Amino acid sequence: MKNIVVLISGSGSNLQAIIDAYRNGQINGNIKAVFSNVPEAYGLVRAQQAGIATELVESKYFASRTDYELVLADTIDRYTPDLIVLAGYMRILSPTFVNRYTGKLLNIHPSLLPKYPGLHTHRQALDNGDSEHGATIHFVTEELDGGPIILQAAIPITPQDSEAEVIKKVQQQEHRIYPLVVGWFMQGRLAMRDGKAWMDNHPLPPQGYIEN
């Protein structure tokens, strides 16, 4: 059975969705550990309640980003991960770290990439009068939020929606699609090859898998 490591910085709601999917048999893999760079992150509590090992690696104790990521990676490797899931991990990872785990790093981003990489995506969608917003799961590459797209889920936005309402609708989709994609990877259906996402031995289109 393949091993999963999850990296978080906050409440861990996507982590909880993945834990629930594992318990329900949707994910055929072992969640070996949950890492955080923030000691107060509630996701660590979620992991502990589920009986999953936790690791706290804080950057403030290291002289450089390089030193921090070297210790982070060496600690991750103790759990022999087949997949590393970024679930609200609020640090930009260096090319050195990303390349160490090429094809084994997944991220979820709260927009319909390539629209709105980076932060404050919900506010940007509202300020621009968008009628549609959503979430994207992608492989991680050196380009920030620019890796091959695996799956997107869209939600409608109305002029009456508040930012809190948009966030809630997007998170509902995140909690649905992230466990789905992790499950695909664990089944061996999903891979990154030649800079593209592949599903069932076929390259996915630029917008990712299309749900029927």
Please state, as a whole number, how many other Cβ atoms lie within 10 Å of the Cβ of residue 57.
18
Beta-sheet strand order (sheet of 202-203) = 190-193, 196-199, 202-203
> Taking Cα atoms as reference points, which of 85, 187, 212, 189 lies closest to residue 137?
85
> Taking Cα atoms as reference points, which of 118, 127, 112 lies closest to residue 174?
112
C-alpha 74/C-alpha 27 separation (Å) is: 25
> Is 109 tagged catalytic?
yes
> Taking Cα atoms as reference points, which of 54, 40, 59 lies closest to residue 5?
54
Q: What is the C-alpha radius of gyration for the chain, rounded to an integer number of angstroms?
A: 17
C-alpha 189/C-alpha 117 separation (Å) is: 27
Q: Which residues pair with 133 in a beta bridge?
A: 155
**How many residues in total does the chain contain?**
212
109, 122, 133, 175: which is the annotated catalytic residue? 109
C-alpha 69/C-alpha 49 separation (Å) is: 27
Catalytic residue set: 109
